Amino acid sequence: MFNSADDETLKFSSRFRQRYGKNPSWPAVQGYDSARLAIAAARFAVAQAPAADIKARRKAVCDFLASLNSPANAIDGVTGPLWFTPGRGRVQTVRVGRFQDKLFGSAPLQLVPVSKPERIEDLVEIGDGRYARRQQVVYTGLFLNELPRVDIAASAFTADFYFWLRFVPIERAGAIGDPADISLPDLVRGSFDPKQPVADRALADGSVYRLWRMRGEFKNDFDLHHYPLDRQRLLVRLFNAKAASDRVVYVQDRRVFQAPGDAIASAKASPERGMGSALAGEAKAPQSPTQLSAEAAPDAFRNLTQWEPVQIEERRDNLVTLSALGDPMLVGFERKRKLSGFSLVVDLKRYLLATLAKTLLPLGMMTLIMFASLFFPTGLVKEKVTVAIAGALSGAVLLASVNSQLGTVGYTMAVEYVFYIFFALCLFCILSVLLAERFRAAHHMEIATRTDLAARALFSLTVVATAVAAGMAAARW
């Protein structure tokens, strides 16, 4: 059950899926940790004993494993810190699952081992003086009502959506963090009050259901390296800033995406959804309009005239700070602050033809005009130079317009390379005309004619090569 696993386990699952095209089994995850432990022990033995002394190396391996006797002395693993108890056992989280409407997933309450207890009354004893903390699994979902605007220049977008939480409340001594006490860190315009849901009721199974509706403007980092062939990923992120991930974890509420009778068929067709794997960063095939409608309204993207929705994905989102932030209770490899969250991810693809028509069509027309000027009679030298200069000025104005629409970008975009080639062609036209005219003034008519022919050929080859390179880049991106 990877949907409520630790962030390192999720990262391993994502890498495994990208390499092998399927989700890893739990023995595969444990086997990976075992291999890391064996490699660490072998490296220690190599550093401590010479190659000829096999007995000394074996002792070094045993000494290394015996030294892993507490979280402070552990080595990092994808399932948590690797260390051993005095009985040569390992303390780790055991995920508890349940079937509900023929769907198998994490139970609403879990037990997470605690290395250094804070309050005994807040914990559950699991034997041999060890304790575990109750962790709430919060089933979370988002439904996109509308995405009316994407503002590249302002690095923001506007979204209107519902989101809900379903969880089993528990009473803790000195409770830290309410599952519903969430924040939207990327919200830059709009207001959100977690204490004012549009629906709040207790369910028959003892869980609590809360629903909110939110409309606001969210900050987003756009990647424009491939503009106008770019694809953008919009993120709406929810985080609980007060409760660590070992207390509250948000997982996808899969019950809303299918009828109970379709659960088994869906699990066979899509193992990651049927078995509840919420793998962060996992690559998926583009969704069909029917799949998009399960997580968004049919007309949610009607106002985005320059964008085509590719897929919508809901997934866990972990915020990991690689510092204890002064907390003395965090020791060893647990010296991190981990917050659990949830994200709605919308992938958009730019409509290429519409963008090219608005951006590069005028540039293409000016290129054709400059190429035609190379065929002007020899008496129109001034007009040839004027056309090239006018083309360069027009290109500069068009490039400034593109940059003003996209905002301040500190790197070179793909479309700017096209403009740079266009400016080079403008300069080339001017220099070739002046060079040919210099040959004519020196009465080298044959060389001047060859210069004109060479300029036309080189101009044509440059334009064709640019078009081919753009097509290859588009196919690869």
Q: How far lies 44's CA from each of 57, 62, 65, 273, in Å?
A: 9, 10, 10, 41
User: Looking at the whole model, is its pTM more than 0.85?
Assistant: no
Query: What was the pLDDT predicted at 477?
Result: 81
Q: Please give the Cα distance from 164 to 194 (Å, whole number).
A: 11
384: nearest Cα among 459, 298, 317, 272: 459
Show the tokens assigned to 61: 């391996």
Question: Model confidence over 207-224: pLDDT tens digits?
Answer: 899 999 999 999 999 999
Domains 92-349 and 353-476 share a fold: no
405 vs 422 pLDDT, higher one: 422
130: nearest Cα among 149, 141, 116: 116
Show the tokens assigned to 322: 């690689």
Q: What's the whole-number average pLDDT of the chain?
A: 83
Query: What was the pLDDT predicted at 288?
Result: 53
- Per-residue HEC secondary structure of 94-162 comes to CCCEEEECCEEEECCEEEEEECCCCCHHHEEEEECCEEEEEEEEEEEEEEEEEEEEEECCCCEEEEEEE
Query: What was the pLDDT predicted at 14?
Result: 85
Query: What was the pLDDT predicted at 260?
Result: 39
**pLDDT confidence tier of residue 150, bands split at 50, 70 and 90:** very high
Residue 274 confidence (pLDDT) above 50:
no
Query: What was the pLDDT predicted at 263?
Result: 35
For range 149-172, the mean pLDDT: 90
278 vs 440 pLDDT, higher one: 440
Q: Please give the Cα distance from 322 to 320 (Å, whole number).
A: 6
Question: Model confidence over 429-453: pLDDT tens digits?
Answer: 999 999 999 999 998 999 999 999 9
254 vs 222 pLDDT, higher one: 222
What are the extents of the domains in the chain?
92-349, 353-476
Question: Model confidence over 73-82: pLDDT tens digits?
Answer: 888 888 878 8
Residue 91 confidence (pLDDT) above 80:
no
% of residues, the chain, pLDDT over 90: 42
Phi, psi at 149, each rounded to 5°: -155, 140
For range 181-191, the mean pLDDT: 90
Class for the domain spanning 92-349: mainly beta
Query: What was the pLDDT predicted at 323?
Result: 61
Q: Residue 299's CB: how many other CB atoms inside 10 A?
A: 9
Residue 94 confidence (pLDDT) above 80:
no
Asked if residue 343 lies in contact with residue 235, where contact means CB atoms within 8 angstroms, the answer is yes
CATH number of 353-476: 1.20.58.390
